[in-house]
Chain A
Amino acid sequence: MTTITDPPQGSFKLSMLLNDTRYRSYTFQFIALVLLIGAIAYLISNLFANLAAAGLNISYAFLGEPAGYDINQRLIEYDSQSTHWRATLVGVLNTLLVAFLACVTATILGVIAGVLRLSNNWLISKLMSFYVEAFRNVPVLIWILMINAVFLVVLPQPRAFRGDNPEATMLFDMFAFTGRGVYFPAPIFSNSLTGSAGTDWLLVIIGLVLSFFGVRQVAKWAQAKQEATGVRPNTLWINLAIWFGPLLVLFTIMGLSFDYPELKGFNFQGGGWARGSLIALWFALSVYTGAFIAENVRAGIQAISKGQTEAAASLGLRPGRIMNLVILPQALRVIIPPLISQYLNITKNSSLAIAVGYMDITATLGGITLNQTGRAIEAVLLLMLFYLIISLTISAVMNVYNNSVKLKER
């Protein structure tokens, strides 16, 4: 009974392409490939026909032409004579700026709300549920527009700060919250090392990164010492020195001082200025995404079984150490992947800046540049490419992280 019948040899029939599992997958793939190539060829031929009919071509030369529009919220030098490429760069930086700010505040808000939602305090946990439900179930666009309206309508105009008995006053004589935006003291370097403010700040960032690695080295050293002797050395002062020492030295050499905003005429002069739309967008994205992050944090903490807390307590750990050494490392494994995809969502939702007039890349490249030059295909392609690069980078980071925290099983 162990006869194995060989599959019939040499008698290939055309029907086997569809009925024989050995060939069927090739048939399907072939059909799919032909359909795909056909569809792409059809679309491209349409594209060329349409372009020819409209007398257009595909060219990125417009990026080198002067943009001719102004962007008042910018991180790098830009004026209306700059090129469209420069305008795009300003937009990219503005997108990254608001996304970064919103990621930081949304995380803080989300962690607080998520932890408080699990609190024993009935009132605060209900309040946090209300916050989460209210923000999760209403479109982010409505929140952005509403919060922008708050900034436009509720905050005073700069002229309210005028006169001997003004309706509004500056906070600590440093910050002015107006309907046009927030004015704040701007740091300036009187003794620039590199010649331009941008590279000076780059120097500061490099210093911070070096400090970060220094602190990690100290932690490694402390760990080694603890394993050898059983006593963990106190690293607080060393860490503080590593964080702030180089910064202080850098700032002293470069002569850091602050430029305060002052009311001159009808508006504030000097200092830094964040447009109302930037603040509104930042705030709206933070509270909206904060609600989602709160849910992720809550799920992460609830995913750790109560037995872990009890086991740690029976080992004699104090409550603070239970949280730090047992619960958080396990909860973070659950929390961080959805957290990173929320960061991705913030970056993508920041494209709604166009609704409140904040000049991010969607508003510069996909908005004014597109409308002025009529280069719809090129502009939209470039726009998509930018967002794709960002999200693929973030996904790559997430994969690296997931692999590093994956449960190491035998």
Chain B
Amino acid sequence: MADTSNSIAFVRTETLPQLDPPASEVGVIGWMKHNLFNGVWGTLLTLLSLWAIYYVLSGFLPWLLGGVWGTNSLAECREVLGGAAGGCFSVLSERWNQLLFGFTYPEEYYWRPTVAFVLLFVAIAPVMFSMLPRVMLVFTAIYPFLAFHLIWGGTILSPLLAMAGFIVGYLAYSRLVNQSFAMGFFGGIVAAVLTWYIGGFIVDAIAPENPTLGAVPSRDMGGFMLNMILGVVCVSLSIPLGIALALGRQSDMPIIKWICVVFIEFIRGVPLITLLFVANVVLAYFLPPGTNFDLILRVIIMITMFASAYIAEVIRGGLAALPRGQYEAADSLGLDYAQSMRLIILPQALKISIPGIVNVAVGLFKDTTLVSIISMFDLVGMIRGPILASTEWNGVYWELFGFAAFLFFIVCYGISQYSQWLERQLATDHR
């Protein structure tokens, strides 16, 4: 055996250094090979999509970049363009205020909704981002009354009274809640209603003739502002209502359960537009003769009912997804129904429901455009009504609808990105 070692001509004593991967497998080329030109079908699809992208962009970019911004009518704009490709974006700049505020909102008051809009972000921020100081929630609590006062104007006493009602209700609740939750809850409601009832007479008596901020009637609201008002108000009102409906549907009490089931299934079974018809033409028949409260409020009631039914179903899903042990653990600790819901069940169920609630909120915000069908002048209503019907801008479809689509896209895409971020933040399970 010893002499065989001599018959081997060469023995490598160290390992070879690793070769670089083939040039076709790494870098830009490798990436393209794997992600763009992966087989015959992959290549074909890539070429097809490249062609589609080129086709769309070659039409769209000249239109977007070659647009005209400074003219006063479509005819003038076409003259400036002189047959060249380009959009007449001057309709946006000329009708900017109408698109945002509607055509009857007093021009000298435009700063008020704008301020309310900016403050909305300040008010929403502490709700959305838990790392912000909790003191900011005080502003969030004040914001609804402030925004109402800014947008609708009138005497400042009415929003102050509304706020006072809530404060008195809360004080009564915290006084009585030691006895039982039900006592505190109903006591709070009674105290708040009493405050509003009595305060109503006082406000009527001492309201000044000419308030600092001039009053604007509801029918003057319009444009994107109306979409924002409807969206924000209805979403924030429908979440508590939805929670109540979901709990009612899960309840052991048959009568309450069936009231909730019928309500939810009825609302989910009909299109929103029929509910808006109800708000527009039917609801007046069901109110005491002589009362006449404005369309925007009727629409808010109907959209809130609509959204709350959907949110209730989302939350019911969250409640059903909780393991049975959580309910039993709460019971075994001796917590009563209100405590176990407030401290154990709802925090977990709501966390599971967040993506669904955000979906409903986005859908609802999109659905606020439907009010244009019952001839309210929201963003779409403004475009279809006063702007497209005007002699100056008859026929400018793309610029206007594109702008509306763009506005809604920004808001809805932003919200859904936020919800995905929040979901990652709240994920406490181990992966």
Residues of A participating in the B interface, judged by any CB pair closer than 8 Å: 18-19, 25, 28-29, 32-33, 36, 43, 46-47, 49-51, 53, 116, 119-124, 127, 133-134, 136-143, 145-146, 149, 153, 348-349, 351-352, 354-355, 362, 366, 370, 376-377, 380, 383-384, 387-388, 391-392
Inter-chain contact A46/B274, CB cutoff 8 Å: no
Q: Which of B17-25, B116-124, B252-260 contacts A (4 or more CB under 8 A)?
A: B252-260
* Cβ–Cβ contact B35 & A121, under 8 A: yes
With A32-B256, A141-B369, A142-B380 as known contacts, state yes or no: A380 contacts B278, CB within 8 Å.
yes
Please list 14 pairs of residues, one from A and one from B, whose beta carbons are closer than 8 Å in the complex, sorted by A's number: A46-B285, A50-B284, A51-B285, A121-B38, A123-B46, A123-B50, A124-B49, A139-B366, A140-B366, A142-B369, A153-B395, A362-B274, A377-B282, A388-B269
**Is B413 touching A133 in the complex (CB atoms < 8 A)?**
yes
Q: Is the CB of A145 within 8 A of B380?
A: yes
The docked-state distance in angstroms from the alpha carbon of A51 to that of B285 is 7
Residues of chain B with a CB closer than 8 A to A354's CB:
273, 373
A361 to chain B, nearest CB (A): 10
Q: Are A46 and B255 in contact (CB under 8 A)?
A: no
**Considering only CB atoms, which chain B residue lies closest to A143 in the complex?**
B405
Interface residues of B in 250-278 (CB under 8 A from A): 252-256, 259, 265-266, 268-274, 277-278
User: Which of A47, A116, A348 contacts B285 (CB under 8 A)?
Assistant: A47
Task: Give the interface segment out of B103-111, B286-294, B321-329.
Answer: B286-294
Task: Return the chain B residue nearest A348 by Cβ.
Answer: B271
Closest to A126 in B: B49
Inter-chain pairs besides A146-B397, A380-B278, 14 sampled, C-beta below 8 Å: A25-B253, A43-B286, A46-B285, A49-B288, A127-B53, A139-B369, A355-B372, A366-B273, A370-B277, A380-B277, A388-B266, A388-B270, A391-B268, A392-B265
**Residues of chain B within 8 A of A153, CB atoms compared:** 395, 397
Report how far A29 CA is from B405 CA in the complex, Å. 47
Nearest-CB residue, chain A, relative to B404 = A142
A138 partner, pick from B182, B282, B408, beta carbons under 8 A: B408
Interchain CB contact under 8 A, B255 and A137: no
Cα A310 to Cα B284 with chains together (Å): 63
**B-chain residues with CB within 8 Å of residue A19 when the two chains form the complex:** 180
B-side interface size class: 35 or more
> Residue-by-residue, is B365-400 near A (CB-CB < 8 Å gives 1, otherwise 0)?
011011011000000100010000000000101100
Q: How far is the CA of A28 from the CA of B185 in the complex (A)?
A: 13
The distance in angstroms between the C-alpha atoms of A136 and B286, with both chains bound, is 37
Residue of B nearest to A150 (CB): B397
Would you list the 5 A-B pairs with minimal beta carbon distance, nearest first? Answer: A137-B412, A122-B35, A139-B366, A348-B271, A149-B397
Tell me which of A28, A149, A349, A370 contacts B401 (CB under 8 A). Answer: A149
Q: Please give, as numbers and ranges, the residues of chain A lying within 8 Å of B405 by CB-CB distance.
A: 138, 142-143, 146
Task: Judge if B217 is at the interface, Cβ distance under 8 Å.
Answer: no
**Which one of B46, B380, B384 lies within 8 Å of A139 (CB-CB)?**
B380
B96 an interface residue at 8 Å Cβ cutoff?
no
B219 at the A interface (CB under 8 A): no
The residues of B with any CB-CB pair to A shorter than 8 Å are 34-36, 38, 42, 45-46, 49-50, 52-53, 180, 182-183, 252-256, 259, 265-266, 268-274, 277-278, 281-282, 284-289, 362, 366-367, 369-370, 372-373, 380, 384, 395, 397-398, 401-402, 404-405, 408-409, 412-413, 416
Q: Is the CB of A46 within 8 A of B289?
A: yes
Roughly how many angstroms separate A137 CA and B359 CA in the complex, as a whole number? Answer: 10
Query: Once the chains are docked, how many angstroms separate the CA of A19 from the CA of B50?
Result: 72
Q: Are B268 and A121 in contact (CB under 8 A)?
A: no
Min Cβ gap A44→B in Å is 8
Residue in chain B with minimal CB distance to A27: B182
Contact of B274 among A146, A351, A392 (CB under 8 A): A351
Q: Are B401 and A142 in contact (CB under 8 A)?
A: yes
Report which residue of B36, B38, B49, B380 has the largest number of chain A beta carbons within 10 angstroms of its beta carbon: B49
CB distance from A9 to the nearest CB of B (A): 24
A211–B401 alpha-carbon span in the complex (Å): 47
Select which of A28, A137, A141 is within 8 A of B370 by beta carbon: A141
CB < 8 Å: which of A139, A142, A348 contacts B270? A348
Asked, given contacts A36-B259, A137-B362, whether A25 binds B46 with beta carbons under 8 Å apart, the answer is no
| Chain B residues within 8 Å of A146, by CB | 397-398, 401-402, 405
CA distance A352 to B272 in the complex (A): 10
Report the bound CA distance from A29 to B402 in whole Å.
52
